[in-house]
Structure 1
């Protein structure tokens, strides 16, 4: 059995078939436990996650009922699956082993990518990590307050992975592809300076100096209008280097041509 939070909440059986989790409160309970897999989530926090201020007459009994319903779902998906949901003071935990939860796989691949010095291997690991995303994280439950913090954290990690992937692809000489692929992402996240720096460098290295300078100008104006700030020192230094056509911006030598990897947008 596998669980998914990098997209709508999902459960798959051992054959990869989707498992239906009926009833919103049961889905919320599963999501709350998957946000902290392998850790005991206190019962009072789970009650708040599921009901907020609109408490049932007997919150403890209501939570126990939802836990029993979730156990039945897990057992139907896989014989013995009910044992994954453990009652342990002061609440419950879900035992999702490595390889059974997409966000854990995502984090593991990011760690492997960080530890490799080979840009081609890093691109491949990051592509595998980003491919785990099926859409916005917990998209079907995103309007519930306890989900938002986790979703923001995971989305930040996704964007950082996309930035890391772009920089690795630049090291492989894929300047034009990165320049074309990052345009929409920069428009969606116009204040991310690291993302814009990768896009500017890709534009410059693919012979589009004017567009690189225009990208910097748009960010500078946006920061000034919305926040009264200037771009950070690293982006400012890149802008000056682009203006001067600094040879330090030239692409590193690539030992062998590598097949272009797609920039993943989710």
Structure 2
């Protein structure tokens, strides 16, 4: 069974068939277990999530019936689904390894990408795959503003934004200046005070031949930081501003190596193709 939380709550069988989870409270129960996936959630906590300050009479018994219904939905969708929800003393736990939840796959891809140095193509591929798992801009979308999911939704959203910033830098190193400049415009408008995001956008504008817009972006950020936070831009942005003014060649990355081009590690065979060691 696979679960999706990087957007609206989603359940699919291992074969990819969608699973309908009926009733809003059953979906909320599943969301609460997914927020704490792999960890037991107390009955009291789950009752608070479902009913807040107005629990029904016999709340524990009613919660047990909701868990039974959720187990039945999962079992009907795929044999063994019932066992994904374990009963613990006064608690329940959803067994879902990292690969079973899209948020877990997302974080695994990020760890792999952040471990890469010197290969922007490989880094961009992994980051693009990670960001592509999102089905919107809010994790736990229908529950993102509820107390039980708010912190986890914000944590995942911060990781998404950081991944998009890192992806933009990798794509700039690959020479995708115009595309990155165009694609980051909306993200910058939505998050105007994120300095690393603005750095990538300004650099992309400059490398795409739009120097006036790049400088205007820096000026706008400087004004907003001072008006909203009483701060000046950080040293990285100050250095970028100076480099743009003097048109520093260091702003233009060296071409990334072509993975299909011959290199010193391979020898050409008689047809001109690179010999492979495998």
Q: Which moved more, 1:47-56 or 1:1-10?
A: 47-56
Q: Distance in 1 between matches of 2:24 and 2:256?
A: 52
Q: Distance in 1 between matches of 2:76 and 2:214?
A: 55
Matched-pair contact (CA < 8 Å) for 2:43–2:92 = yes
Q: Distance in 2 between matches of 1:113 and 1:74?
A: 33
The answer to whether 1:149 aligns with 2:114 is no
The alignment partner of 2:17 has SS state of: coil
After superposition, the C-alpha distances for 1:201-239 in whole angstroms (9 at most, x for unaligned) are 111112211111100111111112222221122212211
Match of 1:78 in 2: 78
Q: CA deviation at 1:15?
A: 2.8
The alignment partner of 1:11 has SS state of: strand
Cα RMSD, aligned residues only: 1.6
Q: After the TM superposition, which residues 11-50 of structure 1 pair with which residues of structure 2 at under 5 Å, given as runs? A: 11-50=11-50
Q: CA deviation at 1:58?
A: 2.1
The alignment partner of 1:99 has SS state of: helix
Q: CA deviation at 1:55?
A: 1.6
Q: Distance in 1 between matches of 2:259 and 2:133?
A: 27
The answer to whether 1:5 aligns with 2:20 is no
Match of 1:129 in 2: 130
Larger radius of gyration: 2
After superposition, the C-alpha distances for 1:55-79 in whole angstroms (9 at most, x for unaligned) are 2222222221111111111111111
Q: Distance in 2 between matches of 1:162 and 1:103?
A: 15
Matched-pair contact (CA < 8 Å) for 2:109–2:129 = yes
Higher relative contact order (CA 8 A, sep 6+): 1
Match for residue 230 of structure 1 among 229, 232, 235: 232
TM-score by length of 2: 0.88
Match of 1:264 in 2: none
Match for residue 202 of structure 2 among 200, 203, 206: 200
Name structure 1 gaps, 5 residues minimum.
Answer: 259-266
Q: Distance in 2 between matches of 1:252 and 1:62?
A: 63
Q: CA deviation at 1:106?
A: 0.5
The alignment partner of 1:190 has SS state of: coil
Q: Which moved more, 1:184-193 or 1:11-20?
A: 11-20
The alignment partner of 2:99 has SS state of: coil
The alignment partner of 2:96 has SS state of: coil
Matched-pair contact (CA < 8 Å) for 2:109–2:127 = yes
Matched-pair contact (CA < 8 Å) for 2:7–2:141 = yes
Q: Distance in 2 between matches of 1:206 and 1:256?
A: 21
After superposition, the C-alpha distances for 1:7-44 in whole angstroms (9 at most, x for unaligned) are 11011123312111111111111001111211111222
Q: Distance in 1 between matches of 2:2 and 2:251?
A: 45
